[in-house]
Structure 1
Amino acid sequence: MSDFNGASFSSGFKWLLGLAALMIVLGALKVAEAIVVPMLLAIFIAIICAPPLAWMTSHKVPPWLAILLLVFTLMIFSWVLVLFVGSAIDTFTLRLPTYQARLQEEAVKLLPFFERLGLPVTREQFLNHFNPGSLMRLAGNALTNLGGLLTDLMLIVFVVIFLLMEATLLGDKLHKALPSAEHSLEQADDFVRKVNKYLVIKTTISIATGFLITTWLWFLGVDFAPLWGLVAALMNFIPNVGSIIAAVPAVLLSIVQLGLPDAALVAAGYIAVNLLMGNVLEPRYMGTGLGLSPLVVFLSLMVWGWMFGPAGMFLSIPLTMIVKIALEQSPSTRWVAIMIGN
């Protein structure tokens, strides 16, 4: 009996010790947010760049030239993105007071409807409890944070350069340094392949989502269509709630600019695109083993968002997926991966 109690105490102590270590690590990451966030984004981009780098080197392109081509493409893309997003955010911020005022006017038109229902509400009471203009202001603040994040993009690109340079040599280094750990290296290779598969497929689907949303909004004549397409692409990394968050500013703007019928078309476009991408294409190419339960998605948004702000919310699902894939590699932790999956 004493042996059983001792074993139970030892097991419980190990869990408590592991939990305490996890809290310490999370606290340290929170303190080092200014350094950790650019590093995580750089690793994210480097993993996405790994397949084209491998393709070029397998087709007899020298590694230094392949990296140079990738870096040149990244720098041009970053420069265009920073200029475009910065300009769009500045223009949207200037027009924001006008949009807020017009949105309030549209909302006040609902007052006669409430009166017919026997709910007499004054204009002041209505705007105090339901002020859609505040949603537009919230969207403006979120876009400003996005612009601030993109100012670090050039630093992130330079980190990506060094990561790609190291990636071409890392495999050989590990095999030479650890010749007796062949099985562990195979597990590490399998882990990297799964992470790479998830990030590449998710990024491709997100880009396609952004392109379709941009095209639909441009066709309807909604202002800042490319900006809302970019937001839709970024929010696509957050399942379940990301598409809803991405649709809110575009739908509100279309109410102000085009009226309720066209706003309904905007919302229908978002629903159609996300149903196509999230329920048809993504499960087909991603497979059934790369999913998270809705509860884990919500908790991931809270934890990573608290730690790293808007960038943490954007990276929350990829980071949690990486943790899930890592847990699947060991039989002793595979049950945890099953529990947090969908």
Structure 2
Amino acid sequence: MAKPIITLNGLKIVIMLGMLVIILTGIRFAADIIVPFVLALFIAVVLNPVVQLMTRWRIPRVLAISLLICLIIMVAVLLLASLGTSLNELARTLPQYRSSLHVPLQNIQPWLERFGVTVSADELIKYIDPNAAMTFVTSLLTQLSNAMSSIFLLLLTVVFMLLEVPQLPAKLQQLMVKPTEGMAAIQRAIQSVSHYLVLKTAISLVTGLVAWGMLEALGVRFAFVWGLLAFALNYIPNIGSVLAAIPPILQVLVFGGFYQALIVLAGYLLINLLFGNILEPRIMGRGLGLSTLVVFLSLIFWGWLLGPVGMLLSVPLTIVVKIALEQTIGGRSIAVLLSDLSDK
């Protein structure tokens, strides 16, 4: 009698894994549709506390949402205009990089030869094609000009989500078998995600502003672009701040020299130490409830599934999945694996 039970359990696991593969494949193929919806959902989660605060000031909800969206559109237009100007200037200066790289490569050549690495600066220069970089920047500018329509549709989706918030709890309660437990789990997920996103946005904004100010003080060109990059990539856990530091350091190494690049590197290390390792853990409080390994693996998984937006939202998406798993008997063991037991 034991063998059929084992076979049945094994068959159920295989069927569940097959269904999971089908669902994930469908999500990946439908990423162009799902990603804007997910992004709009998380933006609505961040903005809803602001809307609720404005309604407490006796501002009608529709007017509060309209004022908030208008403010966001104005800020977005100003940022895109400044970014477009900076990228245009960057595209014009890219041909200078090839001639400027010759001197740093010649300086590095004797240092590499000490370690038995024989390279020729003249040969390396031949492989550097500024036209490829110019093509990339030009395509980026084209995508930037086409981004306004996507941003408009995204914000329109956010508006309808925010308008739907007062009616949403009643609708969800009617769909649930256990409304009390289900609504408590949804409320906990919203609070966790909102807490993380609001604090992460504030820390990322300060990080970007400090990086911009540091680069401006050191006279680094395109400081605004690198500050904006530091703000955006700071949402990516573990590796985002490292990736944001690479372009400005390489730029300073080419145009400013080795010692100025070391100063910029030290500045980024100080910023990441102060905000990433000291300030952020204290402000976040008890932690995310996720282990460090799970945070890193979630970055890879959601990046594969949803692209760059999945990498930016990897932590809140994993938090939602973990809370959802905790509501089922079979999923609680998986939720324990995702948890950071040191927080308890």
Normalised by the shorter chain, which TM-score bucket? 0.7 to 0.9
Aligned to 1:335: 333
How far apart, in 2, do the equivalents of 1:22 and 1:193 lie?
A: 27
Residues 100 and 134 of structure 1 are in contact (CA less than 8 Å); yes or no, is this contact kept in structure 2? no
Find the partner of 2:264 among 243, 263, 266.
266
The C-alpha deviation readout for 1:214-260, integer Å capped at 9, x for no partner, is: 11111111111121111111111112211111100011111223222
- 1:177 deviates by 7.0
Structure 1, gaps ≥5 residues long: none
Residues 27 and 34 of structure 2 are in contact (CA less than 8 Å); yes or no, is this contact kept in structure 1? yes
Structure 2 counterpart of 1:300, one-letter code: S
SS in 2 for 1:202: helix
Does the alignment pair 1:147 with 2:144?
A: yes
Structure 2 counterpart of 1:196, one-letter code: S
- 1:291 deviates by 5.4
Aligned to 2:203: 205
- 1:333 deviates by 2.6
SS in 2 for 1:237: coil
- 1:206 deviates by 1.1
How far apart, in 1, do the equivalents of 2:297 and 2:290 lie?
A: 11
Does the alignment pair 1:72 with 2:100?
A: no
Aligned to 1:91: 89
Cα RMSD of the aligned pairs, angstroms, is 3.2
SS in 1 for 2:307: helix
Residues 97 and 254 of structure 2 are in contact (CA less than 8 Å); yes or no, is this contact kept in structure 1? yes
Trace 1:23-62 onto structure 2 (pairs within 5 A): 23-62=21-60
How far apart, in 2, do the equivalents of 1:141 and 1:274 lie?
A: 31
Aligned to 2:106: 108
Structure 2 counterpart of 1:301, one-letter code: L
SS in 1 for 2:221: coil
Structure 2 counterpart of 1:35, one-letter code: I
Does the alignment pair 1:183 with 2:168?
A: no
Per the normalisation by structure 1, the TM-score is 0.86
Aligned residues: 339
Structure 2, gaps ≥5 residues long: none
- 1:294 deviates by 4.8
User: CA 1:207/1:138 → structure 2, altered by over 3 Å: closer, same or farther?
Assistant: farther
How far apart, in 2, do the equivalents of 1:119 and 1:174 lie?
A: 65
Aligned to 2:315: 317
SS in 1 for 2:313: helix
How far apart, in 2, do the equivalents of 1:149 and 1:17 lie?
A: 43
How far apart, in 2, do the equivalents of 1:300 and 1:134 lie?
A: 36
User: CA 1:287/1:149 → structure 2, altered by over 3 Å: closer, same or farther?
Assistant: farther
Does the alignment pair 1:300 with 2:298?
A: yes
How far apart, in 2, do the equivalents of 1:149 and 1:339 lie?
A: 42
Trace 1:222-301 onto structure 2 (pairs within 5 A): 222-290=220-288, 292-301=290-299
The worse-fitting range, judged by mean Cα deviation, of 178-187 and 55-64 is 178-187
User: CA 1:313/1:92 → structure 2, altered by over 3 Å: closer, same or farther?
Assistant: farther
Residues 100 and 137 of structure 1 are in contact (CA less than 8 Å); yes or no, is this contact kept in structure 2? no
The C-alpha deviation readout for 1:38-87, integer Å capped at 9, x for no partner, is: 11221121111011111112232221121111111122122222222222
Trace 1:1-20 onto structure 2 (pairs within 5 A): 2-3=1-2, 5-20=3-18
SS in 1 for 2:89: helix
Residues 94 and 130 of structure 2 are in contact (CA less than 8 Å); yes or no, is this contact kept in structure 1? no
Structure 2 counterpart of 1:155, one-letter code: L
How far apart, in 2, do the equivalents of 1:225 and 1:96 lie?
A: 16
- 1:16 deviates by 2.4
The worse-fitting range, judged by mean Cα deviation, of 179-188 and 276-285 is 179-188
Aligned to 1:159: 157
How far apart, in 1, do the equivalents of 2:287 and 2:97 lie?
A: 44
- 1:157 deviates by 1.0
User: CA 1:266/1:334 → structure 2, altered by over 3 Å: closer, same or farther?
Assistant: farther
User: CA 1:292/1:237 → structure 2, altered by over 3 Å: closer, same or farther?
Assistant: farther
Structure 2 counterpart of 1:169, one-letter code: Q
- 1:191 deviates by 1.7
User: CA 1:48/1:132 → structure 2, altered by over 3 Å: closer, same or farther?
Assistant: farther
How far apart, in 1, do the equivalents of 2:19 and 2:264 lie?
A: 47
Residues 303 and 314 of structure 2 are in contact (CA less than 8 Å); yes or no, is this contact kept in structure 1? yes
